[in-house]
Structure 1
Amino acid sequence: MPRSTPPGADRMYASFASQDIEPHPLRFTGGGAEFLRVWLVNVLLTIVTLGFYTPWARRRTAQYFFGHTLVAGSPLEFTAQQKRMVVGFLVVVLLTLAYKLAASTGQDVAVGLFILAGAVLAPLIWSSAMRFRLGNTRWRGLRLQFTASWPEVYRASWPVFALALVWLAVFFGLQALAPTPLEGAAAGRKLPQVSAPMVALVVLGLVLTVLCLIRIDFNYRSLLVLRASLGTELGRWKPVYMDFVWLWLATVGVFLASILVLSLLLAGLVGGSFAMVKALGQGQPGVGMVLFLIAAFVALLFLLFLATAPARAYREAALFRLTWNNIGVSRIARFKCDLRVGRYVLLRLRNMLLTLVTLGLFRPFAVVSEYRMKLESVTLHIKGGVDQVAGTLARQQTGGIGDALADAAGLELIV
């Protein structure tokens, strides 16, 4: 397990604070209208090719955003080989087709093996994707790397296996706690009974599931930062697990508040709509009620989706701020983030509304505006001059065989 705070971190931070610091706010030079052209080409070619243009679309999108992201005045570069992205995409497609074929033909053993293999290989797939993404990111010719070993990745993945044990325990516990079923009076069927201990066991399983999911999120993010390197300098990570737990609790609070507000609005709308439908349907009994039920069902689905939007935007913004306020690069750089979570939530809601009104055509503008707000809330603080630090890192950077081995270590397996 990665340590949440590296040894000697307090001395390191004190040393960092005592040096001359240069602040460099991050900047995004792209625009919605410009990205619209990239987005339209990607969408049209993906549809025409039945999805096989996806790796090319992902590469063009990454190159656009990287190339317009300025870090200390210099743009990022995305240098991934198209061939490796295509290979990763084809691997995922073929595995997905094989699984669906096994499931549709009733090959239960094959389906079970696919699920078991997916669970065992999930940490390896995640690590491969991180090696690929960081290994193909450059700044001023400097290459990022993900240096975690496979044992480190699997140690960080322990909540995945703990989750499987939790639900095995719940399954066998329910069987042990189940009372003797009663005979149904009418049909003679056995009706299952649910006892209070069974409900408590399921609730406990759900709580432990959430805690495991939070833990895997924390473990992977911390490992990604602590084992990311620029030259020979590794990342710094300060958050602890309970920071993530409190963030999730706050997210649940935002979701419940959204449900309450939307429920009040829905109650008012239903009352007015029912009165209107009743008046319209007086001449044709039943027609108004059918129309009302259809409209109510569609509105309910939309409102359920809308109810989760503030919570999802809140979690994304709060997690972004927590992360970028507490990471750095060894003793040479740190980040500060002043993202206002409330403003980001309002921006997300506005973008959702405009995307719906324009039937999806506002989507590229929404992506750019949200990316810009997050990126430009971050300031990079560098100890010493940028040119001096970049020169030092360039001298530390390995090349030739080392770069070739890093290239071979990962594929873009997440599509």
Structure 2
Amino acid sequence: MDLDTTPTPSARSQEFEAYSRRVEFSGSGKEFFSIWIVNIVLTLLTLGIYSAWAKVRTYRYFYGHTQLDGHRFDYLASPIQILKGRILAFILFVIYMFCTQFVPILGVLAVFGLLFLMPWMVNQGMRFNMRMSRYRNVRFAFKGNYGDAFLNFIVLPIVSVFTLYLLLPYVLKRIDKYLHSEISYADKPITVNTKGGEYYLAVILAYVACAIVGVIVMTIAGVFGLSLQTMMLDPEGFEQSLTAISAVALIILFVVGYTAIFAVYMGVYQTHVRNHLLNSSEIEGIASFKSDLRIVDYTLLTLTNALAVLCTLGLAIPWAKVRTAKMLCRATEITFLCDPQTLTDAQGEQNSSFAEEAADFFDVDLSLG
């Protein structure tokens, strides 16, 4: 009699050996620029209506060019879903503006109402975005609750003000942990074990880097300003028109210097936090994460991106976004702890994009880094 030698599912899972893969991004700045410029033109011509299609095109481009273990990510939202959310958000925005401009008492109540509404908008926006994100035919999900969101996004930031913002790095740590630990994949949550000390270290490193850049910028500006002052005291030896040009150049130098300081701060801080966050996270029984983004590399990338966008009056935005995506992907490694082919989608309710679009209007839009 023949015996069935086919291994059982449990046997197959026991035989599985974990393996690691790098995330890859195949987009190009030139290719995305054509999408980006068309999005802007059509959005302006349609008085903002096309922005829903623009958002979907942008998301699908970046998701579709992001690959892991031979499989690409998918963004599933439709432009109509986004447009409906934006129409409802616009109505809410008009009501809010009317209250603040013409009925001061209602305006105050509207501000407090928005304060209590924001945690809900954050949760619903995250829930919508995660449900619209898919990898290997399995969607992500977000299961945050209002109480935790209110504590992390409203209560703790207000408390940090009374500590002269000394508590702010801890608050940022709590926010990051909340946003990521409530994400699940194949109904398995992400376990996040971040430490507050790493966030304080990130802030210290960022301030030190800013101080160094600030000293360099101020030294250059000081030398240039002193030379300009000397020229202005001797108008016979220097034409007045050239003096005016030099004054404009000094202003430009200050603008570029400020941009450089801000870019360096964000580059150093984001690099340290991203590495710590991903290296401290794992999808239970499915995958673990590793980030080896280098502070010098990413800070230089952030700096050159900011200067390029500034000098081109925004035309370098597509190029900057693609460069950033490529570096972040190259620095990300995923270790699969089980066979991804065995994972199935945990179906959940479809969520409206209204809260996410309302968050856009009220400047509380959140995104994962």
Residues 387-398 of structure 1 mapped to structure 2, 5 A cutoff: 388-391=339-342, 393-394=343-344, 397-398=345-346
Distance verdict in 2 for CA 1:358–1:293, change over 3 Å: closer
Distance 1:49 1:278 in 2: 54
The CA distance in 2 between the partners of 1:297 and 1:29, in whole Å, is: 39
Letter in 2 for 1:259: G
Work out which of the residue numbers 152, 155, 162 in structure 2 matches 1:161.
155
Which residue in the other structure is 1:24 paired with? Answer: 21
1:332: how far off? 2.3
For residues 252 and 233 of structure 2, the distance between their equivalents in structure 1, rounded to whole angstroms, comes to 19
Q: How does 1:7-18 map to 2 (within 5 A)?
A: none
Q: Which residue in 2 is equivalent to 1:10?
A: none
Task: Give me the whole-angstrom Cα distance separating, in 1, the residues matched to 2:353 and 2:317.
Answer: 34
1:251-330 alignment, distance < 5 Å: 251-280=206-235, 295-330=249-284
Moved more, 290-299 or 148-157: 290-299
Residue 287 (structure 2) pairs with residue 339 (structure 1): no
Looking at structure 2, the residues matched to 322 and 41 of structure 1 have their Cα atoms a distance apart, in angstroms, of 38
Structure 1 position 407 matched with structure 2 position 351 = yes
* Aligned mate of 2:85, from 88, 107, 132: 88
**Contact 2:20 2:334 (C-alpha < 8 Å) held by counterparts:** yes
CA-to-partner distance for each residue in 1:288-333, whole Å, 9 max, x for gaps?
7766655544543443233212112222222222222221110221
- Which residue in the other structure is 1:149 paired with? 145
Q: 1:280·1:288 contact (CA, 8 Å) conserved in 2?
A: no
Residue in structure 2 matched with residue 57 of structure 1 by the alignment: 54
Aligned to 2:5: none
Q: 1:382, CA displacement in angstroms?
A: 0.8
Note the C-alpha offset of 1:254.
2.0
Cα distance in 1, alignment partners of residues 181 and 145 from structure 2? 12
Residue correspondence of structure 1 range 363-382 to structure 2 within 5 A: 363-382=317-336
Moved more, 223-232 or 295-304: 295-304
Partner of 2:117: 121
What is the alpha-carbon distance in structure 1 between the residues aligned to residue 189 and residue 121 of structure 2?
Answer: 22
* Aligned-residue identity in percent: 21
Contact between 1:76 and 1:140, CA under 8 Å: does it hold in 2? yes
Tell me the equivalent position of 2:130.
134
Aligned to 2:107: 111
234, 238, 244: which one aligns with 2:193: 238
Distance in 2 (CA, whole Å) between partners of 1:340 and 1:281 is 52
2:85/2:352 contact within 8 Å kept = no
- Cα drift, residue 119 of structure 1: 1.1
Query: Tell me, which stretches of 5 or more residues in structure 1 are unaligned?
Result: 1-17, 168-204
Change (3 A) 1:226 1:166: closer
How much has 1:33 moved relative to structure 2?
Answer: 1.1
Counterpart of 2:365 in structure 1 is none
Q: Does the CA-based 8 Å contact 1:145-1:228 persist in structure 2?
A: yes
Cα distance in 1, alignment partners of residues 316 and 105 from structure 2: 46
Map of 1:40 onto structure 2: 37
Return the offset for 1:134.
Answer: 0.6
User: Could you give the per-residue CA deviations for residues 381-404 of structure 1, whole angstroms, max 9, x where no partner exists?
Assistant: 1124xxx3332x21xx333xx3xx
- How many residues end up aligned between the 2 structures? 345
- Kindly indicate whether residue 158 of structure 2 is the aligned counterpart of residue 228 of structure 1: no
Q: Residues 210 and 82 of structure 1: is their aligned pair in 2 closer, same or farther, counting only changes over 3 Å?
A: farther
Work out the CA distance in 2 between the residues paired with 1:161 and 1:72.
41
Higher Cα Rg: structure 1 or 2? Answer: 1
- Structure 2 alignment gaps of length 5 or more: 1-14, 361-369
Aligned counterparts of 2:115 and 2:166: Cα–Cα separation in 1: 18
* CA-atom RMSD in angstroms: 2.7
For residues 315 and 283 of structure 1, do their structure 2 counterparts lie closer, same or farther at Cα, with a shift above 3 Å needed?
Answer: closer
Residue 42 of structure 1: CA displacement? Answer: 1.1
Taking the aligned partners of 1:409 and 1:297, their CA distance within structure 2 comes to 43
Q: Residues 97 and 291 (structure 1 numbering): CA distance in 2 closer, same or farther, change over 3 Å?
A: farther
Matching of residue 77 in structure 1 with residue 71 in structure 2: no
CA distance in 2, matches of 1:309, 1:370: 13
Say if 1:274 and 1:292, in contact at 8 Å, map to a contact too: no
SS at match of 1:407: coil
Q: Distance in 1 between matches of 2:238 and 2:303?
A: 40
Q: Which letter maps to 2:96?
A: Y
Q: Deviations over 1:91-111 (max 9, x none)?
A: 333333333333343x32122
- Separation in structure 2 between the aligned mates of residue 331 and residue 146 of structure 1, nearest angstrom: 18
Q: Is contact 1:278-1:289 (8 Å) kept?
A: no
The amino acid that maps onto 1:412 is: E
SS in 2 for 1:20: coil
- Pairwise CA distance, 1:165: 6.0
Task: State the TM-score, normalized to the length of structure 2.
Answer: 0.84
Instruction: Tell me if structure 1 keeps the 8 A contact 2:122–2:355.
Output: no
Q: CA deviation at 1:279?
A: 4.2
Displacement after TM superposition at 1:227 (Å): 1.9
